[in-house]
């Protein structure tokens, strides 16, 4: 019985490990939410942007209160492109004098982003000489599938390949050159591989437990 319990414990540990690794692979898809900060003549604007279809979130905008004076927060720009999708939202600025602003919102999961990059909210300040680390964004956000969207840093574009693609000989217009996997494809392959390993581990320990129980 002790061996069976140990086997089941190992099976659970393996399953959790696979789930964590698979989640990390899925989170590496590049979906993110971040703040784009711009300063013009003493006016500082931090636009909360995303490259995902974000349906809900609770984020903290943390800033240097000695350099930035909070003015207000609303939907971004004159067109308020995101406002039509938001069912409800709230801005908690009670600690703005201490450099903390909280934004929370819910949007229906049926909306479709019109562009690859969506500007969500605009936070306005008064201030000058703003450095990159004077304002940060943290918290949580989710996409239409309920998957977590990374909050904080703008995703970096993959570096272009230094080697030009070889042109097929003989005037062949077809593209027969093998291409390296993109980030999304590589992540999907890793995810599938991790799931397969997890299933194999679970099956192995399940068979082992049954055999031990039969004895």
What does the alpha-carbon distance between residue 141 and residue 33 come to, in Å, rounded to a whole number?
8
Count of C-beta atoms within a 10 Å radius of residue 21: 17
211 pLDDT more than 80 = no
pLDDT confidence of 135, banded at 50, 70, 90?
A: very high
* Nearest partner of 38 among 27, 46, 29, 26, judged by Cα: 46
Give the chain's mean pLDDT.
74
Residue 172 has pLDDT above 70, yes or no: no
Q: How far are the Cα atoms of 59, 61, 201 from residue 82, in angstroms, in the given order?
A: 16, 18, 45
More confident: 30 or 211: 30
pLDDT digits (tens, 9 = 90+) for 98-130: 999 999 999 887 777 666 778 899 999 999 889
The CA distance from 35 to 154, in Å, is 8
- Indicate if the pLDDT at residue 45 is higher than 80: yes
Query: What is the domain class of 32-148 according to CATH?
Result: mainly beta
pLDDT reading at 23 higher than 90: no
Identify the pLDDT of residue 208: 62
Edge to edge, what strands does the sheet with 135-143 contain?
Answer: 88-92, 100-106, 54-63, 135-143
Rounded to an integer, the average pLDDT of 4-32 is 51
Q: Say yes or no to pLDDT of 74 above 80.
A: yes
What is the residue extent of each domain of the chain? Answer: 2-27+185-214, 32-148
pLDDT for residue 70 is more than 80: yes
């Amino acid at each position: 019985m002790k061996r069976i319990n140990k086997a089941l414990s190992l099976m659970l540990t393996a399953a959790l490990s696979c789930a964590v690794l698979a989640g990390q692979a899925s989170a590496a898809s590049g979906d993110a939410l971040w703040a784009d900060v711009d300063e013009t003549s003493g006016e500082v604007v931090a636009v909360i942007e995303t490259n995902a279809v974000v349906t809900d979130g609770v984020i903290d905008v943390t800033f240097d209160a000695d350099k930035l004076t909070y003015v207000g927060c609303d939907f971004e720009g004159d067109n308020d492109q995101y406002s039509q999708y938001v069912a409800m939202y709230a801005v908690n600025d009670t600690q703005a004098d201490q450099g903390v602003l909280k934004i929370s919102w819910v949007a229906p999961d049926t909306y479709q982003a019109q562009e690859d990059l969506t500007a969500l909210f605009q936070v306005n300040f008064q201030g000058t000489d703003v450095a990159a680390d004077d304002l940060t964004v943290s918290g949580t956000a989710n996409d239409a599938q309920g998957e977590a969207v990374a909050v904080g840093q703008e995703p970096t574009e993959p570096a272009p390949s230094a080697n030009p693609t070889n042109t097929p000989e003989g005037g062949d217009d077809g593209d027969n050159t093998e291409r390296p996997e993109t980030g999304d494809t590589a992540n999907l392959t890793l995810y599938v591989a991790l799931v397969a390993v997890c299933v194999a581990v679970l099956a192995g320990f399940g068979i082992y437990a049954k055999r031990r129980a039969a004895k």
